[in-house]
A and B are shown apart, each in its own frame.
Chain A
Amino acid sequence: MTNLTSSPGTEALPVVKETKSAGRKPEAKREVKAFTGLAHIALFAWALVTAGPLIWVLLASFKSNTEIFLGKPFALPEHFSLDTYFDAWGEAHIGRYFLNSVIVVLISTAGTMLFGSMAAYVLARYKFFGNRFIYYLFVSGLAFPTFMALAPLFYILKNMGLLGTYTGLVLVYIAYSLPFTVFFLAAFFKTLPYEIEEAATVDGASHTRKFFQIMMPMAKSGLVSITIFNIVGQWNQYLLPVVIMTGPGAESKYLLTQGIANISTSAGYHAEWSTLFAALTLSILPMIVVYAIFQRQIQAGLTAGAVK
């Protein structure tokens, strides 16, 4: 844990002896043991590298500024008090930023899923003129980096009077989440069987009803994966809020990522590092709790995009 740059054990893979085929049994056993030992060292080292900075943030959030400047980053704080946390929650408005983020992400993910699955369903299962064109229009959005269009996006929102509003932010989140959502769900809807749908048609179900009552429940696993993907992606968004949540009075509407960055800048001016660390801890802790509960679903949801 002395140096973050050390890449534990990558190149130091054991060059075990492959010679001496005579008496391979004990050799092989020793090889496995040595290998397992080195594997543990490498894995443990990376676990430390991963968790170290986070543990350090937690410890430092309880320390006074003088303690922080003493060095000894992993020493326990002299006394535990929650004052820094009250500062972060109240004065630094972490509570408000957090709530803002929750509201925006709830609405925009719900919107993304509704509109994304509607579009994906129609594009995947209905033949009509222009189907391919609209599909490729959506999918081509995957190839463009978001920040390429920053300036025009800003002025589009400005002309619509949506700058600095959650409405604008939510609409933009939905629009920029659509390409991947449509791409993923269209592929998913295509794999669903046609027989049940046909039976429903014979029974006189309308198209809309078939979608909500038959296709959506059947597509549940895909929908869950992509919902998690969108929640995490939108929760972590920084560029779009920075561009859109500007203008007078925008500071009270900041989202968490923006707020933290803002606190970090002002902490530099006032040298209130412990408040910053408390704010960081407050924004990381809920993620850990959610992760602990939904660990399996989250890993599946986030990697689903790459496996496709």
Chain B
Amino acid sequence: MRRGKYPFIIGFLIVPVALYCTFVVAAYLQTFQLSLSSWSGLGPIEYVGFDNFTKLWHDELFWKSIRHNIFLLVLLPIVTIILAMVFAFLLNVGGGHRGGTTRGVWGSKVYRVIFFFPQLLALAIVAVIFGRVFGPDKSGMLNGLFPESWKPWLFLADERYAMLCILIVLIWQAVGFYVVLFSAGMGSIPAEIYEAAALDGATRITLFFRITIPLLWNTVQVAWVYLGIAAFDAFALVNIMTVDRGGPNGASSVLSLMIYRNAFEFSQAGYASALGVVLFFLTLTFAALTLRVTRRDSVEA
């Protein structure tokens, strides 16, 4: 029966595995190798031990970038999940109940379609749009909306607000996706549970906190991981939208941008790889922490 099994298996696996090993596995392995070298991208590779990491430790921009990544890592999931949760709840349960069933608000389908759309736009295009929305003069959308007498806000050109602008754009794009995701989750919660609670006189707020959130906890955790990964990226936004790419004065620099610029603009392939290694361990820590939290919560629930 299993005649010709091995030729078939090899035939099916050889191309995908070869592609994957050449462009993905090899690249990741070389990152670790190059992180111990002072390679500029040309000529022979010289190994310098952990020099790159010592240099990192004293690099002010590196610490700034880490702080910015952590800023996004904490706030992006929290704000996005709260907003998406509330909107999803309003869409699904907001319409009151008639004949014993809880309904969504009127027009909930239209809302869902509109909310989701930004998810389809490339982050690069979103970055170009919001670069103009945050324009520092009257041509920017927000400054155009402000009263005539106000002095134009600088937004991205202001060191204090640059990261906040980036956070807002990421939230703007992400919320709709999670509204749809949570809506799907809420749809699978049996209506009887809501009915029973409503019969007992539970208000909407109680329903939300006592029934919806606990039953959606798994989806929330998935959302947390996804948003965390997005927070580590943000390259397109920072590269396209910000002043001086990561500026002003490093106020919006993130790790991904540092890797890109060191590798391709400052001819520091070794240093860029060292940054890559740091990023790898940060991601790993984030994943481990998330798993840890997951386990504890599932015990509590």
Q: Which residues of A contact B (CB under 8 A)?
A: 1-5, 7, 9-10, 13, 15-16, 18, 21, 24, 31-33, 35-36, 39-40, 42-43, 46-47, 49-54, 56-57, 60, 68-74, 115-116, 118-119, 121-123, 126, 128, 134, 137-138, 141, 143-145, 147-156, 171-172, 174-176, 178-179, 182, 201, 206-208, 211, 232, 235-239, 242-243, 246, 256-258, 260-261, 263-264, 273, 276-277, 280, 283-284, 287-288, 291, 295, 298-299, 302-303, 306-307
Contacts and interface: CB of A to CB of B under 8 A. Distances in A.
A13 B86 contact: yes
Nearest to A157: B23
Given A16-B203, A73-B145, A236-B121, A303 B177 contact: yes
Contacts of A171: 19, 23
Contact of B148 (A33, A57, A71): A71
A182 B184 contact: no
B240 A31 contact: no
Contacts of B94: 35-36, 39, 43
A257 B264 contact: no
Nearest to A52: B141
B229 interface: yes
A152 B27 contact: yes
A152 B25 CA distance: 11
A35 B122 contact: no
B65 interface: no
B12 A122 contact: yes
20 contacts: A43-B91, A43-B105, A46-B111, A53-B172, A69-B138, A71-B144, A118-B15, A128-B9, A144-B280, A148-B28, A148-B31, A152-B30, A155-B30, A207-B4, A260-B128, A261-B240, A291-B113, A299-B116, A306-B226, A307-B184
Interface in B1-24: 1, 4-6, 8-9, 11-13, 15-17, 19-20, 22-24
Nearest to B120: A287
Contact of B201 (A10, A21, A137, A152): A21
Contacts of B128: 260-261, 263-264, 276, 280
A32 B25 contact: no
Nearest to B164: A5
Interface in B203-219: 203-205, 219
B259 A147 contact: yes
B276 interface: yes
A282 B141 CA distance: 19
Greatest chain A CB density within 10 A among B26, B107, B229, B235 is at B235
Q: Is the interface of A mostly helix, strand, loop or mixed?
A: helix
B247 interface: no
A46 B223 CA distance: 20
A50 B112 CA distance: 11
Contact of A56 (B118, B141, B223, B280): B141
A147 B273 contact: no
Contacts of B82: 10
Contacts of B17: 119, 134, 137
B87 A243 contact: no
Interface of B: 1, 4-6, 8-9, 11-13, 15-17, 19-20, 22-28, 30-31, 34, 41, 79, 82-83, 86-87, 90-91, 94-97, 105-107, 111-125, 127-133, 137-139, 141-145, 148, 164, 168, 172, 175-177, 180-181, 184, 201, 203-205, 219, 222-223, 226, 229, 232-233, 235-236, 239-240, 256, 259-260, 263-264, 269, 272-273, 276-277, 279-280, 283-284, 287
Nearest to B106: A40
B40 to A, nearest CB: 10
A147 B260 contact: yes
A68 B139 contact: yes
- What 4 A-B pairs come out closest when comparing CB atoms? A152-B30, A236-B122, A149-B27, A39-B94
Contact of B26 (A53, A116, A156, A179): A156
A121 B9 CA distance: 10
A2 B273 CA distance: 44
A147 B260 CA distance: 8
B139 A69 contact: yes
Contacts of A128: 5-6, 9
B236 A137 contact: no
A69 B12 CA distance: 59
A1 B145 contact: yes
Contacts of B87: 42-43, 46
B19 A174 contact: yes
A175 B181 contact: no
Contacts of B5: 126, 128, 207
Given A149-B276, A201-B1, A260-B124, A144 B90 contact: no
Nearest to A32: B96
